[in-house]
Amino acid sequence: MSVTSSKLVVGEAPGLYGEIKVDESVIQQIWNEQLIDQSKLRTTCGLSIQVKHCGSWNRAEEGPDFRRAEIQIGDQVNHGDVEIHFRPSDWVRHSHHQDPNFKRVVLHVCLYLDKQVGSAGQSSDASGIPVLHLLPYLTQGLEEYVEEFTLRKLAGMEPSIRTTKMDLLSPENDCLKLAEQRWKQKGKFAQARLQNTDWQAACHQWFLEVLGYRRNRGPMTQVALEYPFSCWSDRQFNVEDIFSLQQGWKLRGCRPANHPRTRLMQYQKLSIENPSWPEQLLSLDIGSESNAADHNRKSLSIAQYLKTWRENILGGIFGGSRANTLWVDAILPLLSIQQGKDYFAIWYHWPAGDCPAGFRDMAHRFGWIKGTSSSPFSNGVVQGIIGLLLKESQ
pLDDT of residue 362: 81
The arithmetic mean of pLDDT across residues 110-134, rounded, is 70
Extents of the domains making up the chain: 10-137, 142-393
Q: How far apart are CA 141 and CA 153, in angstroms?
A: 19
Residue bearing the bigger pLDDT, 20 or 77: 77
pLDDT of residue 74: 95
- Backbone φ and ψ of 179, nearest 5°: -65, -40
Other C-beta atoms within 10 Å of 301: how many?
Answer: 12
pLDDT of residue 230: 94
The arithmetic mean of pLDDT across residues 369-390, rounded, is 82
Confidence bin at 43 (pLDDT 50/70/90): very high
pLDDT of residue 115: 76
**Residue 56 DSSP code:** E
| Cβ-contact 103, 82 below 8 angstroms | no
Question: Model pTM?
Answer: 0.78
The arithmetic mean of pLDDT across residues 259-280, rounded, is 97
Q: How far apart are CA 132 and CA 52, in angstroms?
A: 15
| Cβ-contact 204, 210 below 8 angstroms | no
pLDDT of residue 255: 86
pLDDT digits (tens, 9 = 90+) for 72-91: 999 999 999 999 999 999 99
Spell out the SS3 assignment of 320-350. Answer: HHHHHHHHHHHHHHHHHHHHCCCCHHHHHHC
pLDDT of residue 164: 41
Secondary structure element (H or E) that encloses residue 51, with its range: strand 49-53
The arithmetic mean of pLDDT across residues 190-204, rounded, is 94
pLDDT digits (tens, 9 = 90+) for 327-363: 999 999 999 999 999 999 999 999 999 887 778 888 8
pLDDT of residue 125: 42
Confidence bin at 154 (pLDDT 50/70/90): low
Query: Which value, to the nearest 10 degrees, does the dihedral of the CA atoms of residues 151, 390, 87, 38 take?
Result: 20
pLDDT of residue 155: 62
With a pLDDT cut of 70, the percent of the chain lying above it is 85
pLDDT of residue 126: 47
User: Does residue 9 have a pLDDT over 70?
Assistant: no
| Cβ-contact 180, 327 below 8 angstroms | no
pLDDT of residue 173: 54
Least confident of 221-230, 245-254, 283-292, 359-368: 359-368
CA distances from 375 to 224, 327, 385 (A): 37, 20, 15
